[in-house]
Amino acid sequence: MKYIYGIDIGGTTVKIGLFNESGEMIEKWEIPTRKEDGGDHILQDISDSIEAKNSEKGIDKADVLGAGIGVPGPVTADGRVINCVNLGWGIFNVANSFSAISGIQNVKVGNDANVAALGEQWKGGGRGFNSIVMVTLGTGVGGGIVLDGKILPGSNGAAGEIGHMLINPEETRKCNCGKTGCLEQYASATGITRMSKEKLESDSRDTELKQYDHPITGKELFAAYKNNDQVACEIADVFSTYLGRGLANVAQVIDPEAFVIGGGVSKNGQVVIDVIQEKYEKNVMFALKNKEFRIAELGNDAGMFGACRMIIQ
Amino acid sequence: MKYIYGIDIGGTTVKIGLFNESGEMIEKWEIPTRKEDGGDHILQDISDSIEAKNSEKGIDKADVLGAGIGVPGPVTADGRVINCVNLGWGIFNVANSFSAISGIQNVKVGNDANVAALGEQWKGGGRGFNSIVMVTLGTGVGGGIVLDGKILPGSNGAAGEIGHMLINPEETRKCNCGKTGCLEQYASATGITRMSKEKLESDSRDTELKQYDHPITGKELFAAYKNNDQVACEIADVFSTYLGRGLANVAQVIDPEAFVIGGGVSKNGQVVIDVIQEKYEKNVMFALKNKEFRIAELGNDAGMFGACRMIIQ
């Protein structure tokens, strides 16, 4: 039996999955991400954890086919990280470094959103499609592109950064990226909460959304939307208009087979797909209509699966 | 000596180039595009023209390595054309058909804008870059994407259709594609002429642009722009704002190394690059700044070069 490690480095924890050569996950666990000292301990900690797992399972290092790693920052095709501020990392080749530290020869590294997209394309919502765009609607709006079964990293490791497409030139509020009017400002969980707060403060109409004493999230918004609550429908319309326009423009560029929608907001299910798809169809040219839209299926495991896939594809 | 035919099928003429195996163009000529009878004669006419050239030059068919063909419509990765209305073609596999008609085994087919992009990446303005976006500012706004030296066709053969990205949601005029607010409505030669006409009709200020008794094109516009003519600067600002925003959003999706700007409008030279690049830089996230912008160099030969490249890459 041969083995692969699929590793997803996040700002708080590192998720590690042990896979067999058929791509089945045998076990998964987490270790803390130690960001002190410029993130210098992270790769060593992962290597130590893998060594311990090998000992525990009686796995011979020679039977480890390789390790894939997803990193929360731009990564070039050859495994170079470019200023991964979340981990304190500057510019260095993570693939080469981890290989040297762990003794694992075959190491592949990708941006975490891209790696998660590969996982979903392989074993999740994008199964059966070769070319997908994955859109993660979480704190921000992440994107990952898989073309012909391979991650598109981009020349600076920044392909798929669709959350920072300009979508509203009239916006005056700043996005976290420093620009204004980014898709992320409306289509993220954070965007939904902000838009709901502003709407409730400025709109005197009665609405279901007023019953909550906590910030509105996608959950409350789409529940009220399904009840045809007018205020909720208007907020959902802003969300879906900007996201549908954004994905239409993405399709005009790369013409994927399918979009896979993930992240916390996607947990509200088919209604999210429905509102996005309606606006997508309105804004895309004839040859690009009727794309498939799917909900992501792997949740927080997508990164580990995608990292494994980089090794055995 | 081995030979390649690079063929660029247009709505009026078919351009045919004879190349040697080093990719040098030996000779080029044109034949009319016969669109009658649903375009049924086009491939036979090309095959006849190639046969005649082989005879004239004493080229043995066995020494023809292959033929590349650019077609003005969506083409999938396997050479299937999907409703090429310009030629009267429906849905069929052009690569297989031309191979059967001509006896040339190795036939590759691509969308004309994508094939021209490959030509520019290989031997034109995109030389030295592996991944480029070519933007053709002509009657419309065409786009072609080359990633790692290969055309990105898209799952429906419609990748790179950036002229039909939604760029102005407030627009009420219809684009040729049937949508409204497409990039093509402002960034094409046609768009410049229309915007200039409307501006001159509605704006009473004195301007150099009033001296012409023919429609304003990029030539007159950018000449006046260089003289700091205020009305011209305002029109150029609309042109460059929409195009800069559009290309910024393209970069957010695929992160190319460079943009190559072609078509009639690009003939006005560096000033066109300068105005686009200024707006690009304002609208793109940090990791995507400082992309290279180049003027296309191959003109109408780009398609033949790209078609040749499909065979010998």
Domain boundaries, chain B: 3-110+301-312, 125-297
CB contact A257 to B (< 8 Å): yes
Q: Which of A304, A153, A291 is nearest to B131 (CA)?
A: A153
How sure is the predictor about B304, in pLDDT bands with cuts at 50, 70 and 90?
very high
Domain A3-119, CATH among 3.30.70.260, 3.10.450.750, 2.40.37.10, 3.30.420.40: 3.30.420.40
Look up the CATH number of domain B125-297: 3.30.420.40
Helices marked H in A63-188 — which ranges?
A: 94-102, 112-123, 184-187
| Mean pLDDT score, A82-90 | 87
| Mean pLDDT score, B87-108 | 96
Quote the pLDDT of residue A36: 92
- A15-73 pLDDT, tens digit per residue, is 999 999 999 999 999 999 999 999 999 999 999 999 999 999 999 999 999 999 999 99
CB contact B159 to A (< 8 Å): yes
How sure is the predictor about A237, in pLDDT bands with cuts at 50, 70 and 90?
very high
CB contact B165 to A (< 8 Å): yes
Quote the pLDDT of residue B313: 83
| pLDDT at residue B18 greater than cutoff 90 | yes
Quote the pLDDT of residue A301: 97
Q: Do A162 and B250 touch (CB under 8 A)?
A: no
How sure is the predictor about A164, in pLDDT bands with cuts at 50, 70 and 90?
very high
CB contact B162 to A (< 8 Å): yes
Mutation pick from A148, A183, A253 vs chain B, by most beta carbons of B within 10 Å, is A253
Share of chain B above pLDDT 90, in %: 95
- A90-114 pLDDT, tens digit per residue, is 999 999 999 999 999 999 999 999 9
- Is the Cβ–Cβ distance between B221 and B196 less than 8 Å? yes
- A242-287 pLDDT, tens digit per residue, is 999 999 999 999 999 999 999 999 999 999 999 999 999 999 999 9
Instruction: Please tell me which of the candidates A145, A161, A287 has its beta carbon nearest to residue B285.
Output: A161
CB contact A177 to B (< 8 Å): yes
Domain A127-297 fold is Nucleotidyltransferase; domain 5 (3.30.420)
Quote the pLDDT of residue B84: 86
Domains B3-110+301-312 and B125-297 in one fold: yes
Q: Do B283 and A166 touch (CB under 8 A)?
A: yes
Q: Do B248 and A131 touch (CB under 8 A)?
A: no
Q: Do A164 and B285 touch (CB under 8 A)?
A: yes
3-class secondary structure, B64 = strand
Q: Do A152 and B147 touch (CB under 8 A)?
A: yes
Cα distance from A62 to chain B (closest Cα, Å)? Answer: 33
Quote the pLDDT of residue B85: 82
Query: What CATH class does B3-110+301-312 carry?
Result: alpha beta
DSSP summary character for residue B217? -
* Cβ neighbour number for residue A201 with a 10 Å cutoff: 7
Quote the pLDDT of residue A251: 98
DSSP summary character for residue A310? H
Q: Which residues are paired to A7 by β-bridges?
A: A16, A69
Quote the pLDDT of residue B82: 86
| pLDDT at residue B182 greater than cutoff 90 | yes
User: Where are the extended beta strands (E) located within chain B?
Assistant: 3-9, 13-20, 25-32, 64-71, 80-84, 89-93, 107-111, 132-137, 141-147, 150-151, 258-262, 292-295
Contacts of B283 in chain A (CB under 8 A): 166, 179
Q: Do A154 and B286 touch (CB under 8 A)?
A: no
Cα distance from B143 to chain A (closest Cα, Å)? Answer: 9
CB contact B263 to A (< 8 Å): no
Cα distance from A54 to chain B (closest Cα, Å)? Answer: 37
Q: Do A253 and B159 touch (CB under 8 A)?
A: yes
Quote the pLDDT of residue A82: 86
Quote the pLDDT of residue B22: 95
Between A102 and A313, the higher pLDDT residue: A102
Cα distance from B247 to chain A (closest Cα, Å)? Answer: 10
- B107-163 pLDDT, tens digit per residue, is 999 999 999 999 999 999 999 999 999 999 999 999 999 999 999 999 999 999 999
Q: Do A254 and B283 touch (CB under 8 A)?
A: no
Residue B223 buriedness (CB in 10 A; 0-12 / 13-18 / 19+): middle
C-alpha to C-alpha distance for A288 and A311, rounded to whole angstroms: 32
Contacts of A156 in chain B (CB under 8 A): 255, 287-288
CB contact A78 to B (< 8 Å): no
Among A189-198, B13-22, B28-37, B74-83, the range scoring the smallest mean pLDDT is: B74-83
Q: Do B158 and A288 touch (CB under 8 A)?
A: yes
Cα distance from B230 to chain A (closest Cα, Å)? Answer: 23
Quote the pLDDT of residue A243: 98
Quote the pLDDT of residue A65: 98
| pLDDT at residue B86 greater than cutoff 90 | no
- B233-268 pLDDT, tens digit per residue, is 999 999 999 999 999 999 999 999 999 999 999 999
Q: Do A287 and B74 touch (CB under 8 A)?
A: yes
Closest residue, chain B, to A74 (C-alpha): B287
Instruction: Please tell me which of the candidates B152, B249, B288 has its beta carbon nearest to residue A156.
Output: B288
